[in-house]
Amino acid sequence: MKEYHVKDIRNIAIVGHAATGKTTLVEAMLYATGATTRLGNVNEGNTKSDYLAAEIERQHSISTSLLTVEWNSSKFNILDAPGASDFVGDALSAVRVADVGLISVSGTSGLEMGTEVMWNFCEQFKIPRIFVINMLDKEHVNFRGAFDELKTSFGNHVTLLQIPIGEGVGFHKIADIIRKKVLVFDTKSGKYTQEDIPADLTDEVDQLHLELVEQVAETDDSLMEKYFEEGSLSEDDLRAGLRDGIIHKQIFPVFCTAAAAMTGVTRLLEIFEKYVPAPAEVLPEVTEEDTELTCDENGNCAAYVFKTSSEAHVGELSFFRVYSGKVVSNMDLVNKSRNTTERLGHIYIVNGHDRHEISALMAGDIGATVKLKDTHTGDTLSHPKSPMVIKPVEYPPPNIQAAIVAKAKGEEEKISAGLVMLHDEDPTFFYEVDPELGQTIISGQGELQLQIAFNKLKDRYKVDVLMVEPKIAYRETIKGSSESKYRHKKQSGGAGQFAEVWMRVESLPRGEGLVFEETLVGQNVDRGFVPSVEKGVKAMAQNGPLAGYPVVDVKAVFYDGKMHPVDSKDIAFQIAGKAAFKEAFLQAKPCLLEPIFDIEVSVPEEFMGDVMGDITARRGRIGGMDTDGHFQVLKAKVPLANLYKYSTVLRSITQGKASHRQKFSHYEEVPRDEEQKIIAATKAAREEE
């Protein structure tokens, strides 16, 4: 592949809801441009884009694939992003380095949750958007219905540039509004011929063309003036104005495709070449140093790493986009975020699982290099003379947790190395070793994401582990106050032990933790034993008297006691303090507290009743509702104990059309009947251990 310059490069993220035909569309582009000799099929597991074993098995994308095609004198870097919400991190990363977002919409399902999510991602990074209503050769398609939903949700700048003729099974004709011609596609090659608009569509196409002219005129004062003076725009003015309108996000065009039937695909490639911005035509990057970084081939080098992969048949790669200058093999660059220097090895152009070595990449281009030693997803590599940090993606917090347990001891190091790599590959996958729970907790966006990460951990690092429900970090506290006088006396020959501790406990407001005080008066107890009593209290509070959970929001007051001139010592007062605290605690109306999470569920109106009923069944409390486009946003507070695998259940009861976010809110008292179950279960688990 030849070396391409900024003006000839197009970076396109293909995004959208799951199962809208994105990968099939990419396969059609590859085939139409001669990048492949056959049209890959998702159902047959032979696509260039979905090459991972898990993708072939599940028949949908789980990771962004980079594919490169040449079209006339242009090079298209196509980022095929997964649509499932479990893998939202990959979609975010793809949009981050793209110059346009092509949002795929199903001709049968129309606007879906993922459509709005991907629109918002494009909005976040301020890139132009193009809609493709795909799969128009299926049964029960409704192109007009899908378009109306897009226009209602995203505004009047959503503009028809094509309409299908004969949508449904056998579809292969499109009326092109720009050309005012019918495009007739060969369903084998994707090539097309042109025909005149049929009489029964002439009025509609003329009206849509007029609306397009008016919309283009509105994007520029000089065009508007021409339109008023002449009553129309020349073809050159229309095309130039349309391109500017797309680039400046004043027009969001809608196209038709049936990718599996090679219909509309070659015309879409022409649109990329003529109407999609080159990297230098989009807004400049703003670095964390608050400087603008323009896409200049002659500038100092700056590259952003947006993806890391480690696959047996591909190897370990760092994917990057060059934002300025030129990247060449064996180049030394600095990673300002980590204060390290990296030497680039081989540089590759990537096409799915295939890679082709090249000597250099120019500004605006996207490629990969052998995995860097200390540079990770979201890092910037820049010239030593002008070190900088391109603002990284802010990934969403996790929505689901699980615990992994090793079946055999001694594998902790391999597990840790595996978890580090999994997070580097997918920054929305998190892990932590929780010392309180004694578990390694993994978390992410959905159950499928965790399951795939778990499988990778087992297969790649050869560790024998189980994935189980995580324990809940309950807390213990009291609702009343009480006093205890505990005497510890031990005499069995030789030195004895003696200590007597008088203690009072009382409840504190939420969030105060454990407070220890001494209010001793007189000489009954030497003040030197106060730290011993405090140590005993804290030891008991660490594994609370009620069920072994940490004690919070309690004040313990050591107000009096007794000692022996010979037998009193540190260990005696530790034991007495521990026991006195336990006695007083258990007499002060003890209770368990559980973590409560705020959740926000985005759900279509028709599933609201089912979702609300399910939340109520989980001991949740509905807090309110907002409207967000076609979706209702339901807010509630739900105990963490009842949120395990909630994302999976939510998708099941809403046919995959809802999603949720969750975050910790506060601790709250557990209902009495639930408390008894938790205490009994905890006791049984400890007896088994």
Start and end residues for every CATH 3.30.230.10 domain found in the chain? 475-588
Q: What integer pLDDT is reported at residue 493 of this predicted model? A: 65
CB 256 within 8 A of CB 164: yes
What is this structure's pTM? 0.91
Q: Which fold has domain 475-588?
A: Ribosomal Protein S5; domain 2 (3.30.230)
Q: Within a 10 A sphere around the Cβ of 286, how many other Cβ atoms?
A: 12
Q: What integer pLDDT is reported at residue 408 of this predicted model? A: 84
Give CA–CA dist 189/366, Å, rounded.
Answer: 28
The proportion of the chain whose per-residue pLDDT surpasses 90, expressed as a percent, equals: 89
Q: What integer pLDDT is reported at residue 426 of this predicted model? A: 95
- Residues facing 319 on adjacent strands: 307, 368
Start and end residues for every CATH 2.40.30.10 domain found in the chain? 285-382
Tell me the three state secondary structure of residue 71.
strand
User: Which residue stretches of the chain have pLDDT < 50?
Assistant: none
Q: What integer pLDDT is reported at residue 499 of this predicted model? A: 97
User: By CB neighbour count within 10 A (0-12 exposed, 13-18 middle, 19+ buried), where does 20 fall?
Assistant: buried
Q: What integer pLDDT is reported at residue 689 of this predicted model? A: 66
Q: What integer pLDDT is reported at residue 461 of this predicted model? A: 87
Structure token digits, residue 414: 């391999």
Start and end residues for every CATH 3.30.70.870 domain found in the chain? 400-468
CA proximity to 460, closest of 419, 429, 408: 419
Structure token digits, residue 13: 């993220």
**In CATH, which superfamily holds the domain spanning 7-281?**
P-loop containing nucleotide triphosphate hydrolases (3.40.50.300)
pLDDT in tens, 327-359: 999 999 999 999 999 999 999 999 998 999 999
Q: What integer pLDDT is reported at residue 53 of this predicted model? A: 81
Q: What integer pLDDT is reported at residue 3 of this predicted model? A: 85
- Domain 285-382 in CATH 2.40.30.10? The answer is yes
- Residues facing 541 on adjacent strands: none
Q: What is the CATH number of domain 593-674?
A: 3.30.70.240
Pair type for strands 475-478 and 590-604? antiparallel
Q: What integer pLDDT is reported at residue 391 of this predicted model? A: 94
Cα–Cα distance list, 241 to 162, 206, 246 (Å): 17, 19, 9
Cα–Cα distance list, 670 to 542, 544, 594, 676 (Å): 19, 16, 6, 9
- Domain 400-468 in CATH 3.30.1490.20? The answer is no
Q: What integer pLDDT is reported at residue 287 of this predicted model? A: 93
pLDDT in tens, 10-21: 999 999 999 999
Start and end residues for every CATH 3.40.50.300 domain found in the chain? 7-281
CB 451 within 8 A of CB 459: no
CB 133 within 8 A of CB 143: yes
